[in-house]
Structure 1
Amino acid sequence: MTDLWKTNDHPTVVWANGSENWQTKRIQTINQSLLVVDIAAATKASEPESVGGIDGVYPLEIKPESDELRLSFYDFVAYSVTAEMFAQQGDQEISVGGWLRVFSKSFYLEFVERSTWATSEFPGDLIHYQINTLDHTIDVVTSNPPEILKSI
């Protein structure tokens, strides 16, 4: 099966990477072999608030009418969630995409390859997917492309 996310041709991935203000809605593991990540497009609040001592701030919020995506990773090998303010990408890492990325070379992929017994023979060639939101960076290493559903 061709992984259209890896080639950056998946229509939903193209749409998501062209959208703005994705926030993490929910991250959950199911039955120890399925990771589900829900993200939603946040919109500007209708009324300004005082946030952290700054007046007149329009916070971003997920509303019932917000666009949503569900990314389901079956038989994942590893995943990591990093608060957005601490996430970084090294100059030696190679990726395509924006909000949704796939890495052909990354420190996280090297870490998983060195720290687990997963190989190209089992479960198969490992791929590093990354979901970037305004609040988190979610890294997933798996040998299976994710299932992507728009507007869950």
Structure 2
Amino acid sequence: MRPVIVGGAAVELYTQGAIVSGDIDVITPWQETFEVALEKEGFVRSVGFGAFARGFQHQEFGFGVEVVGRQLMEGHADQDRVLIIDLEGGGNVSFIALEDLIADRMGQYNAPPNMRDDMLQQAAELLKLAETVDKAYLDRRISDETGGDFSLLFLENYVNAQNNS
């Protein structure tokens, strides 16, 4: 499995900058190798109050990178759905699939001890801006990530209520 960008940076990509993130969260089974590569590119391990536990900062670029896990969605995401974007000049970068990202935001919305309205709002914004989604897959992933507490229908109703207010 290749490194995959998840979290806020993926939200920023899928919302075309409507929601901005200050860091890049990455999933990779090769954390140590990835961190050595970051250091070679000028990233420095975050230290001190407020630092990410596994994060690196780049002073010149003004953002951080953090390895947040070894497996995409703890192995629940379909690897074939990962979005691979070719970069000018060669190379490519991988992003979590839109459906898995929406499900992740719903899971964070549902996380105790309190509901995170910002995560519900991000899930709604992602759904509104999506050109196409696999609704059956998305519904299953939302249910998985929320322990069955929420569904795609809940999110669609939320989006519709926002549009009508």
TM-score greater than 0.5 by the shorter chain: no
TM-score under structure 1 length normalisation:
0.26
More contact order relative to length (CA 8 Å, sep ≥ 6): 1
TM-score under structure 2 length normalisation:
0.25
Normalized per residue, the structure richer in helix is 2
Normalized per residue, the structure richer in strand is 1
